[in-house]
Amino acid sequence: MKHVKTLTFAAGVSALLAAPAMAFQDEGTVRLGSTEPLTGPGAVYGQPTIIGKKIAIEEINAAGGIMIDGKKVKLDLFSEDDQAKPDQGVSIFRKLESSDDVLAITGTIYSRVSETMWGLLQKKLDDPNDTGLQVPAMSFLSMKAGVASISPWAFRNAGVECDQHEQLIDLVQEANGGAEFQSVVAALESNEAHSAAAWRVCYQGSLKKRNWDTKEYVEWFEQDTDFSVQVRRIRRAKPDLFILSSHYQANVGAMLEMARQGVTPKYMISHIGADAVEMIDLGGKAVEGVVFPSTAFFADPGVKSLLDEYSKRTGEWYMPAFTYLAYEGMYLMKHVFETAGIKNQPDTLAEDRRKVRDALASLKDWPNPMGLKLTMGATGDISRPYVYVTIKDGTFKLWWHPTKGYMNP
Amino acid sequence: MLDFAQNTLDGIMVGASYALLGLGFTLTFGVMRRLNLSYGPTIMMGVYAGAYVSLNVYGSLLLALAIAVAVSVIVGLVIEGVCFRAVQSDNPLASMVSAFAMWMVLEEIIILLTWGRLFPVQNPSGLSTFDIGPISVRGDYFALFVAAVVLMVGIYWLLFHTAFGRKVRAVGENRKSAQLVGIDVNRVSREIFVLTSAFGGFVAFFIAASLHQITPGFGLWATVKGLIVMILGGIGSVPGAVLGGLLLGIIELQAVWYIGASYRDLIAFALLFLFLVVRPRGLLGQGERSS
């Protein structure tokens, strides 16, 4: 009996040790890493993102999976929770790369965490002296300008932020009859990396290009609770263009105070941080009129099936654009895995990762689930058409569309 | 000059709520001789519960407020039991660390239940303002100020003109002596937790209403403000907490106007540091007492 137990134990251990050899193509899966803040304060972004990913993966697998080397395999997501902490992100990134042997790593949300994780990557392609990690990495948000330029292995599908702001300023000027604004006022959420970079790298560049000075400039913090002093300054400047480089958490409080003090700029523009249902839930009428960029408007017919499924799972009527970006990202990975010529075997992992990187870097005119053609830029960012969304009558509405023009001016 | 006056008035309004947060910390410390670091998250839990019911079950301001107070009291009693009564160590650090751990637990519970979402909190006075000459006053801040003054007067009366207050002060003066004269020290501790949690939940609800929202960061915000006020006013001093709150509110608002919002917290912490070095007893504190 003792021998039987010993043999059973030995067989079990052998099976466990042999498991990696059975992985990948032979077990009918292709491994994809994923990291988001699923708990902690960043979960507000991480949860809608992972839902977008899971919906796409379930659709892909239900349709048979991914065709690799003549065989359909299932997409197997190795999901981790980085809690929006850079140090945790680094550990997860290393684990996914070395222990989980994933083909590519998707995520994360916060620019500061993506920057830290991607700092592990090889900086110079094909440089034998550069011993950085060689695994394709792609974020579906991390909006901070220039984040994907960290490494030739890093990519992003959320678009180029400065392009969004440049285009939006052009559009509001056009909507203003082409006239210059008499009083441009800006507000910066100065303790938030994305907002600070958007202001310093994008908005300031756009204003300088037009020789526009801000008549008033104020700062606040993401967690601020009182905006009365800043808004008093804004009120005195009588802005006709108000730029908010700030997320919804502070936007709501500031805009409520603006309504209280009777500040009504002709145009109010914000970055993607205004893309949150809380703007309406908490801000009510005070936030009406703000315009912000988006990559996928939730009411677009191209995202309807995703919205329906997202609403079913969450009970939410609104779906943020980054849920779509994560969903799109999974289909992008499917496309790249299918076309890169990979073998999906343990001993070809390094070679496969390089093929996936090269396929991502050379992506051209890939038709995304909305039917738009996407191309990867030299900086690792996908250039894409943007829509601009406003809040009107208690809901989000398209303000400008690339083919339809101004819709709710 | 007008801006200085406006900032001062706004600072007094904001400072009144800071004062009540500081009062919660100082009363607990005065009786327990231990710092309750989970006070902020406790009252945050209450407001989240009230906001949740108002949003999903029945949209009543009074019901939301009642639930906020009730849940704050329940969570406060759990904290008292788990972090203070159960941790019998003479080292005050043990309770402080335990309360800190509970802070993290409470915050994570909120985040797990809500994904860290902000919940709307109904503001009864909306966006109304009224003018006193050239100075503008927010309706909700004024209501908060009046509520804070009434509460502070009530707490002062309770502490200095009732039998309960005498017990509280006796325990605060010397825990062992109070026990020797027959005061049920554990009961007084529990009652102080009920009292501070109840008015904390009440004030937190009105602060959240003035912001139109409750966020998972509220616990940290309330803790930082409360601790600074307690140190500025003097640990254990009720009038000191009031003065400390008003001082902090005025200095913050003036700093934002004259120096910039980015320096507001820096100045608040510099002030705290200055007090700790120059006047560690705070404005009206009585210094160290034996326990």
Domains of chain B and any CATH numbers: 2-126+139-278 (1.10.3470.10)
Q: What CA–CA distances, in Å, run from A204 to A118, A169, A222, A233?
A: 27, 11, 20, 20
Average pLDDT over residues A296-322: 92
Of A39, A226, A282, the CB nearest to B213: A282
Residue A88, pLDDT > 90, answer yes
**Digit-coded pLDDT (tens) for A130-143:** 999 999 999 999 88
Q: For residue A144, give every residue at least 6 positions away whose Cβ sits within 8 Å of its Cβ, in sequence order, or none.
A: A111, A112, A115, A161, A193, A194, A197, A198
Please state whether beta strands A267-270 and A241-245 pair in parallel, antiparallel, or not at all (unpaired). parallel
Closest Cα in chain A to B218: A223
Residues of B in contact with A190 (CB under 8 A): 261-262
* pLDDT for residue A98: 94
Residues of A in contact with B220 (CB under 8 A): 223
Of A219, A225, A252, the CB nearest to B260: A219
**Digit-coded pLDDT (tens) for A335-344:** 999 999 999 9
Interface-testing mutation among B104, B128, B215, B265, with chain A (most A C-beta atoms within 10 A): B215
Q: How far apart are CA A319 and CA A315, in angstroms?
A: 10
Q: How far apart are CA A124 and CA A130, in angstroms?
A: 7
Q: Going along A93-239, which residue ranges are E strands?
A: 104-107, 137-139, 154-156, 184-189, 214-220
Residues of B in contact with A218 (CB under 8 A): 261
Exposure string of B212-245, with b = 16+ CB inside 10 Å and e = fewer, is: bbbbbbbbbbbbbbbbbbbbbbbbbbbebbbbbb
Coil, helix or strand at residue B261: helix
Inform me whether the C-beta atom of residue B140 falls under 8 Å from chain A C-beta atoms: no
Confidence of residue A23 (pLDDT cuts 50, 70, 90): low
CA distance A270 to chain B (A): 19
Of A47, A232, A278, the CB nearest to B118: A278
Of A43, A226, A253, the CB nearest to B14: A226
Per run of 10 residues, the mean pLDDT along chain B (length 291 residues) is: 91 91 88 88 96 89 95 95 82 86 93 88 84 88 88 90 92 88 91 93 92 91 93 87 93 92 89 91 69 40
CA distance B100 to chain A (A): 16
Inform me whether the C-beta atom of residue B249 falls under 8 Å from chain A C-beta atoms: no
CB pairs under 8 A between A and B: 84
Q: How far apart are CA B92 and CA A382, in angstroms?
A: 56
What is chain A's mean pLDDT, rounded? 91
Q: Do A44 and B115 touch (CB under 8 A)?
A: yes
Of A228, A232, A256, the CB nearest to B212: A256
Inform me whether the C-beta atom of residue A285 falls under 8 Å from chain B C-beta atoms: no
Closest Cα in chain B to A260: B127
Interface-testing mutation among A110, A189, A220, A226, with chain B (most B C-beta atoms within 10 A): A226
Name the amino acid, one letter, at B171.
Answer: V
* pLDDT for residue B286: 67
**Digit-coded pLDDT (tens) for A146-160:** 889 999 999 999 988
How large is the angle between the packed helices A321-339 and A304-314, nearest 10 degrees? 120
Average pLDDT over residues A98-125: 94
Inform me whether the C-beta atom of residue A317 falls under 8 Å from chain B C-beta atoms: no
Average pLDDT over residues A297-317: 92
